[in-house]
Amino acid sequence: MRCQNYLNEVFQKCNKSEKLKQGFKLERKHTYTDPDKIYEDWSRRAVVPAAGGGRTVKLTAELIQLVAQYTNAVRDRELDLRGYKIPVIENLGAILDQFDAIDFSDNEIRKLDGFPLLRRLKTLLVNNNRICRIGEGLDQALACLTELILTNSSLVELGDLDPLASLKSLTYLSILRNPVTNKKHYRLYVIYKVPQVRVLDFQKVKLKERQEAEKMFKGKRGAQLAKDISRRSKTFNPGAGLPTDKKKGGPSPGDIEAIKNAIGNASTLAEVEGLKGLLQSGQIPGRE
């Protein structure tokens, strides 16, 4: 009862705050059983920008200090940067390498880079973002990274995944619900290029798959196949002219017929999701 009275008192004071009226919210970092500590923790808490708003939020040292920090279910220290519409990873030097896991879920991040040296970081959650590129040299900053979740982003080409090969400690990787997963030989290519991964898209990599990937990409023919399918997404170069000679047009009658047939043959939700990703990446089912 005493705890509840303390919390009610603090909330009454905070509700009068002008910052709260402007769309801010309180975050609690710790759980206490002592009511005096509860009162002290809540009464001295600063306000942080409410997650999930329409505006993007710059990742600053101040924001990092104010967001939730806690010990998660696997006893790792985790920094919660979920849902702040952050567009760019920056200023992470402010965490002083004090966290085992960082949650960047539900943001607006387009490129996976911008990390300082973080020897302690083991888990990186970046699902539900707009990742379309992965920076080079991640191993220089994230040498101990073992788990990377990139579910539901915008990776399109197999070559865009090549920088992950440098992460020698990476054992758990998810790229589900990215257009690249609909590419031919996707799983075998990732197993070949990033052999240290033991669980891909929440499915254990089997010895048979490793042998098949080795056989497929072995020798000159295999190297040529890997080169042919591992192109990267094109990036815009400032100052470069825009293409003007390409004809604008929709799919051909043959493409439309192929799409209709693929939709008619889809019998499960997984197949429908696969077709959706394939079409979003500009590919025609059965034409690759």
User: Each residue of 191-200: pLDDT tens digit?
Assistant: 999 999 999 9
The residues with which 47 forms a beta bridge, in sequence order, are 26
Q: How is residue 50 written in tokens?
A: 């409410």
Spatial CA neighbour of 105 closest among 85, 88, 128, 124: 128
CA distance 177 to 255: 23
Lowest mean pLDDT of 44-48, 65-69, 129-133, name the range. Answer: 44-48
Confidence (pLDDT) at 13: 47
Do 99 and 119 contact (CB within 8 A), yes or no? no
Report whether pLDDT(164) > 90. Answer: yes
255 CB burial (10 A radius; 0-12, 13-18, 19+): middle
Report whether pLDDT(150) > 70. Answer: yes
Helix or strand run (H / E) with residue 85 = none
Query: Residues with Cβ < 8 Å from 158, sequence gap 6 or more?
Result: 180, 183, 185, 186, 189, 190, 229, 230, 231
The residues with which 80 forms a beta bridge, in sequence order, are 103
Report whether pLDDT(42) > 50. Answer: no
Report whether pLDDT(38) > 60. Answer: no
- Torsion angle of the four alpha carbons 172, 178, 183, 189, in this order, in degrees rounded to the nearest 10: -20
- What is the mean pLDDT of the segment spanning 151-167? 96
